[in-house]
């Protein structure tokens, strides 16, 4: 009996030893291959990141992905780094065109489905649609985002900006001047986009009813990051889904239902409003969009067209409160450009050069789009910024890392609007790398709208109020985690209503 046990024991020992040996051999071989022989081994980056995705996933799940990518670009002093076994990050200006602009004879770079995932109910909006569907949807949507449409939409947007100003005034009176502008900008941009996407107000500024919707975006983007990390491994996607907060999942489902009802109501409502649907209905022919696609796009507008502008506006207020010269110069420019409030319009505000510089510099310091837009290199490979990259590799441009790079900007970590005004101190700035709205066929369709909205809001705020930091303004406010978007915390500043010239 003892002999049999000994034989079994030694067989088990041999088996275990063989398995351990195979495992070690596999780990060593894959390390040596990934680090020294992989087609990406020529790119700079840490050996551990070349070997395993663990550092990337850790950064992603702890809300520090842009920080991780920026640190690697700084450490290797390079505008291309290998951030995981098959991911490259670029911060060079030419990478934008090389990746996103159509090139004859080359297939397009496709969005990395591991990151973007598949849409609920399988209906894609314009952002993730395949090339043919993208062209079809974009053709219809272009009418709703044209200069002409924007002109017609101005009264709607002005009315919401006026509500914002009234609400800020009331809040500043009741709270001794202290106002959390982060919340107000989020509510205002939701109200404006609700009006344009559904033809009715979500009314976050005046009522509590839908405010939860606007604050939910932060939790939702965390959940999206967890899901996208989990898609890396087939076993983890289904498992991790069970750990997402049930309340968030319930609220997301309720939201989707609400969006669907709002679109249904709008589609029944005819064509007299100046919102997006009026254009979609007018130009929707047999090659147009289906109702589920209209709903998917309405949902995208609420996600893409609200927090992005609100982030730049909040960042802009923060940087102005920390830079008294810039605040003084901008207040002076705005208050001298107009005679009365009525002069502040979509047509007049682009004429203010310092305002443009302040908004660009706020966007450079605190860009709202932080996902890096990971895309896969198409069949046949591609040249990106002078580097040959094989097919299938995931490539991205992380805007924050690119804008904070000393290879691209002089004094990159300092807020200096003058750099956008041809100040010779900044002649070495690589301004071409600054593409907050991306380039190519998928560039932001709401770019003109966002610019008009942000200029209007900034002008009206500095027209009606004196702005100052308050004792509650955190001086390190932008030190925030990132889950696709900055996880913004309240920004409490002092707004004091000022005497303004009255309309005759
Ligand atoms: C300052 C504010 C904004 C910034 C910085 C911004 C930035 C961007 C960027 C970088 C993209 C490309 C995303 C990608 O390819 O993965 C994009 C796409 C898009 N944006 Fe914006 N956006 C802003 C405001 C808006 C607004 C107000 C709307 C209005 C609804 C909007 C609607 C869209 C849509 C629909 C797309 C997808 C376009 C396509 O795939 O063809 N954005 N935006």
Q: What is the pLDDT of residue 209?
A: 82
Taking residues 74-98, report their average pLDDT: 97
Looking at residue 121, its pLDDT comes to 76
How does the average pLDDT of the chain come out, rounded?
Answer: 93
The string of pLDDT tens digits covering residues 119-154 is 877 899 999 999 999 999 999 999 999 999 999 999
Q: Is the pLDDT of residue 162 over 90?
A: yes
67 vs 372: CA distance, rounded Å: 12
Tokens standing for residue 205 = 């500024």
90 to 326, 400, 444: CA distances (angstroms):
31, 11, 20
Q: pLDDT band at residue 229, thresholds of 50, 70 and 90?
A: confident
CA of 363 to the centre of ligand 1 (A): 14
Q: What atom of ligand 1 comes closest to residue 373's alpha carbon?
A: 16
pLDDT tens digits, residue range 471-497? 999 999 999 999 999 999 999 999 999
Cα separations in angstroms, 390 against 347, 381, 498: 47, 4, 60
Three-state secondary structure call for residue 468: strand
ipTM of the complex, rounded to two decimals: 0.99
Angle at 447 between CA 265 and CA 434, to 5 degrees: 150
Predicted confidence (pLDDT) per residue in 258-299, tens digit: 999 999 999 988 767 889 999 998 888 888 899 999 999 999
Three-state secondary structure call for residue 386: coil
Mutation probe of ligand 1 site: the residue of 446, 451, 456 with most atoms within 8 A of C-beta: 446
Nearest CA to ligand 1 atom 19: 444
pLDDT band at 392 (very low <50, low <70, confident <90, very high): very high
Of all protein residues, the one whose alpha carbon is nearest to atom 24 of ligand 1 is: 305
What average pLDDT does range 348-358 have in this prediction? Answer: 98
* Location of structure tokens 């200069």: 147
Q: Give the pLDDT band of residue 504 (cuts 50, 70, 90).
A: low
Q: Binning pLDDT at 50, 70 and 90, where does residue 10 land?
A: confident
- Residues 6 or more apart whose CB falls under 8 angstroms from that of 322 comprise 415, 469, 475
The larger pLDDT score, comparing residue 77 to residue 209, is at 77
Residue 503 pLDDT: 65
On whether the CB atoms of residues 193 and 217 are closer than 8 A, the answer is no
Q: What is the spatial distance between Cα 59 and Cα 315, in angstroms, rounded to a whole number?
A: 23
Determine the distance separating the centroid of ligand 1 and the alpha carbon of 448, expressed in angstroms.
10
Going by C-beta distance under 8 Å and a sequence separation of 6 or more, which residues neighbour residue 17? none
Question: What is the pTM (predicted TM-score) of this model?
Answer: 0.94
- Cα of 30 from ligand 1 centre, angstroms: 39
Q: How far is the CA of 306 from the centre of ligand 1 (A)?
A: 10
What pLDDT score does 271 carry?
A: 67
Measure the CA–CA gap between 457 and 476, rounded to whole angstroms. 24
Write out the H or E segment, with its range, that includes residue 460: helix 447-464
Model confidence at 178, in pLDDT bands (50, 70, 90)? very high
Dihedral sign of CA atoms 51, 53, 54, 55 in order: positive
To the question of whether residue 444 is assigned a binding role by annotation, the answer is yes
Query: What one-character-per-residue DSSP string does 167-208 give?
Result: HHHHHHHHTTTEEEHHHHHHHHHHHHHHHHHHSS---TTT-S
**Separation of alpha carbons 186 and 491, rounded Å:** 12
CA 356 to chain centroid, in Å, comes to: 20
Distance in angstroms (rounded) separating the CA atoms of residues 299 and 293: 10
Q: Which atom of ligand 1 is nearest to the CA of 449?
A: 27
- Report residues whose beta carbon is within 6 angstroms of any ligand 1 atom: 126-127, 138, 300-301, 304-305, 308-309, 312, 368-369, 373, 436-438, 442, 444-446, 449-450
The answer on pLDDT for 1 being more than 60 is no
| Cα 28 to chain centroid, rounded | 39
In whole angstroms, give the CA distance from residue 335 to residue 337: 6
Question: Vertex 259, ends 269 and 129: CA angle to 5°?
Answer: 105
**Distance in angstroms (rounded) separating the CA atoms of residues 93 and 443:** 16
More confident site: 244 or 48: 48
Indicate which residue's Cα is closest to atom 15 of ligand 1: 442
Of the candidates 496, 167, 159, 130, the one whose C-alpha atom is nearest the C-alpha of residue 321 is 496
* Token representation of residue 449: 């709208």
pLDDT > 60? residue 324: yes
- Shortest CA distance to 84 belongs to which of 113, 60, 63? 60
Cα torsion for 33, 35, 37, 42, to the nearest 10°? Answer: 160
The pLDDT score that the predictor gives to residue 233 is 81
């Amino acid at each position: 009996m003892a002999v049999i046990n000994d034989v079994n024991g030694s067989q088990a020992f041999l088996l275990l030893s063989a398995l351990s040996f195979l495992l070690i051999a596999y780990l060593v071989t894959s390390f040596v291959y990934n680090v020294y022989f992989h087609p990406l081994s020529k790119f700079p980056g840490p050996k551990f990141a070349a070997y395993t995705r663990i550092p990337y996933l850790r950064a992603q799940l702890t809300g520090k992905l842009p920080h991780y990518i920026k640190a690697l670009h700084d450490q290797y002093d390079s505008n291309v780094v290998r951030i995981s076994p098959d991911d490259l990050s670029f911060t060079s200006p030419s990478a934008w065109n090389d990746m996103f602009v159509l090139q004859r004879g080359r297939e397009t770079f496709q969005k990395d489905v591991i990151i973007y995932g598949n849409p609920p109910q399988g209906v894609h909006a314009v952002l993730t649609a395949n090339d043919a569907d993208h062209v079809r949807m974009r053709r219809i949507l272009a009418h709703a985002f044209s200069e002409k449409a924007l002109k017609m939409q101005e009264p709607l947007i002005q009315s919401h900006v006026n509500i914002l100003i009234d609400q800020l005034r009331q809040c500043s009176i009741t709270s001794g001047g202290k106002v959390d502008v982060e919340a107000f900008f989020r509510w205002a941009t939701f109200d404006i986009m609700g009006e344009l996407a559904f033809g009715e107000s979500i009314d976050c500024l005046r009522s509590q009813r839908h405010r939860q919707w606007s604050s939910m975006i932060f939790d939702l983007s965390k959940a999206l990051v967890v899901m996208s990390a989990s898609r890396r491994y087939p076993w983890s996607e289904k498992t991790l889904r069970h750990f997402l907060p049930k309340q968030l999942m319930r609220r997301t489902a309720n939201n989707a239902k609400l969006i669907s009802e709002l679109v249904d109501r709008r589609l029944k409502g005819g064509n007299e409003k100046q919102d997006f649907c009026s254009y979609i209905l007018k130009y929707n022919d047999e090659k147009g969009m289906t109702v589920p696609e209209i709903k998917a796009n309405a949902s995208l507008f609420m996600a893409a067209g609200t927090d992005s502008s609100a982030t730049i506006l909040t960042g802009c207020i923060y940087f102005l409160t920390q830079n008294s010269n810039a605040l003084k110069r901008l207040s002076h420019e705005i208050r001298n450009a107009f005679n009365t409030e009525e002069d502040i319009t979509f047509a007049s505000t682009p004429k203010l050069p310092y305002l443009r510089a302040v908004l660009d510099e706020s966007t450079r310091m605190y860009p709202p789009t932080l996902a890096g837009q990971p895309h896969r290199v198409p069949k046949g490979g591609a040249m990106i910024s002078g580097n040959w990259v094989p097919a299938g590799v995931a490539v991205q441009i992380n805007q924050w890392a690119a804008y904070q790079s000393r290879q691209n900007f002089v004094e990159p970590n300092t807020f200096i609007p003058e750099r956008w005004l041809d100040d010779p101190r900044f002649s070495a700035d690589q301004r071409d790398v600054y593409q907050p709205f991306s380039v190519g066929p998928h560039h932001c369709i709401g770019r003109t709208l966002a610019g008009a909205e942000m200029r209007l809001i900034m002008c009206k705020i500095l027209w009606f109020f004196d702005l100052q930091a308050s004792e509650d303004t955190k001086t390190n406010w932008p030190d925030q985690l990132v889950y696709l978007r900055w996880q913004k915390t309240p920004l409490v500043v002092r707004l004091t209503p000022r005497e303004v010239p009255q309309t005759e």
